[in-house]
Amino acid sequence: MGAAVPIPNGRFLIVGGASLVGSASAELLLREGAREVIILDSFYQGSRDAIAHLAGDSRLKVAEGDVLRLPQLLAAARGIDGVLHLAAVMSLTMDRDPWLGLSVNIQGTHNVIEACCAAGVAKIVLASSTAAYGYGPGVAGELVETTPFHSAGAPPAAILYGASKIVAEQLCRDAYAKRGLDYVALRYATVYGERQHYRAANALFIIETHDRVHRGERPQVIGDGSETKHFVHVSDVARANAAALASEATDAVLNISGPAPVTTLQIVRLVTELAGKDLEPEHVAPDPRKVRLTSGGAWRLDHAAAERIIGWRPEVDMREGISRLIAWREASLSAAAP
């Protein structure tokens, strides 16, 4: 068994923490009694708005830093008990600048690991992704943590992103084997929820749908709407991160997803209904200019290992999660209105 890092009175560093997952994770760690939470972010993609609601807590510290600058990570990791590594470039950005994505996702992870080892950090929790299974027709059935990677027919940016996550996991595994750094890698499905951004290709579909119905326009369904998607609410992800830190688990890779898959048509109907609109969706062909991550057919993520190893299971279904997201967005839009 590995090191357990209790949340109460612990000191934690969240790399890439000015983000959807980072803000929810910091909030949960503080609520559970952490002595200090340090958010390190370059603010290239992160936003101070994402963590503005935590600004009044003196236990939260925010430092500007870049995962590609090792000295900044070394300074931030001093005296830290556990690190949550979230900093990454996702598929939409990877499509525009592949080398930036590979540098951040691979060299950046290497730098975080080096800082953890130098500072004597007890455990690192890596934000990996279900992109580690790949995309395309080969991804089907029950996906467990040993399911191989598939790449045939998928957009290059999606494959580069998924492959970079596999490399990041293996860097953690290598550091565990050679240097004794305990780690848990969590393969998130598409994360959505309050403080949602516009950078994740699948979560963007929820936001774009809400934008359309908010303007009174008919929502759009890509194809016939039967394409399967896998989402997980950000509060469930934050609980998984905390559980991975606090458990004795190590050298583990675990699926983290919502209670059940959902189709694009179900998403559109949920968003429309929960936004209080009566608009019939229109079916459109996929836009070849956009990176859209397809499921390749019906598949399901198995959570048995996460429940067995860190005691985690999802709690928020899509109806509740989208309802919470829309309530937050409507409040934000109202506050921003002149």
Express each pLDDT in 221-232 by its tens digit: 878 888 788 899
Q: Give me the sign of the Cα torsion angle 18, 198, 189, 235.
A: positive
The whole-number average pLDDT for the span 42-60 is 91
> Does 333 have pLDDT greater than 80?
no
Helices (H), 70-152: 70-77, 91-96, 98-102, 108-119
pLDDT of residue 293: 46
Residue 275: pLDDT band (50, 70, 90) is confident
Share of the chain above pLDDT 90, in %: 61
Query: What's the mean pLDDT in 281-302?
Result: 69
Q: What is the widest separation between alpha-carbon atoms in the chain?
A: 59
Residue 262: strand, helix, or coil:
strand
Determine the pLDDT at residue 12.
98
Mean pLDDT confidence for 21-31: 97
Question: Lowest mean pLDDT: which of 90-94, 125-129, 185-189, 270-274?
Answer: 90-94
- Residue that is written with structure tokens 């890596």 in the block: 126
> pTM for this structure?
0.93
pLDDT at 288 over 70: no
| CATH architecture of the domain with residue range 11-192+232-257+297-316 | 3-Layer(aba) Sandwich (3.40)
Using an 8 Å Cβ cutoff, are 243 and 287 in contact? Answer: no
Task: Count the Cβ atoms, other than its own, within 10 Å of residue 276.
Answer: 9
Residue 330's pLDDT band (boundaries 50, 70, 90)?
Answer: confident
Write out pLDDT tens, residues 75-117. 999 999 999 999 999 877 888 899 999 999 999 999 999 999 9
- The structure tokens listed for 147 are 């399911």
